[in-house]
Structure 1
Amino acid sequence: MNLAPVLTVLVVAATLALPAATEARGHGAHRHRDGSHAVATRTDIPTARCRDGSDSYSRHRRGTCSHHGGVAVWLR
């Protein structure tokens, strides 16, 4: 039995599911205090740069960069 078509389908399905799984784990997405979700896009302007070098797109200052060593500098 030739498994190449089956393997191709599995690889394509896993590749298409990757962005959704990444957002679900919190990479590139975060939850606001009011429970709503936000996903940073390339057109968003970061509000702060964290001490680990990552950018934050927080709507509020409280808790910004709390899992990234704190805020290094506020950008706006």
Structure 2
Amino acid sequence: MRLAAAFAACLLCAAAADAYQPVQPVQPDEAQLREHGHYRNRDGDEVHAPAHTKDGRVPEGASARCRDGSYSFSRHRSGTCSHHGGVAEWQ
């Protein structure tokens, strides 16, 4: 009986692991932004560099507003808005 319960638990864990889908970050609309640089983050992903918007609105996918008025699209808090005055506000 214990063996059957352990086997069932293993099957549930395996099914849950297969069901996990990481959330894909939303990419900003380049037409809304003034700057168009990118960088590779510590995970090896290409991320849009901090940028100012043309209309002053928060762009899609922004994670923070930097003190210089640009918006960051970082996926890790460490280093967010580096060289942009630091984080003014998290989105």
Structure 1, unpaired ranges of 5+: 1-26
Report the equivalent of 1:44.
60
Runs of 4 or more above 4 Å deviation: none
Q: Which residue matches 2:40? A: 31
> TM-score w.r.t. structure 2 length?
0.45
TM-score norm. by structure 1 comes to: 0.53
State the distance in 2 between where 1:74 and 1:39 align.
16
Aligned residues of 1:50 and 1:73 also touching (Cα < 8 A): yes
Alignment length (residue pairs): 48
- In the alignment, what sits opposite 2:87? 71
Partner residue of 1:58 out of 52, 65, 74:
74
Change (3 A) 1:32 1:51: same
Structure whose alpha-carbon radius of gyration is higher: 2
Alpha-carbon spacing, 1:44–1:61, altered in 2? closer, same or farther (3 Å): same
Contact kept? 1:50, 1:72, Cα under 8 Å: yes
Structure with bigger helix share is 1
What is the identity percentage for the equivalent residue pairs of Structure 1 and Structure 2? Answer: 64
Q: Distance in 2 between matches of 1:71 and 1:62?
A: 10
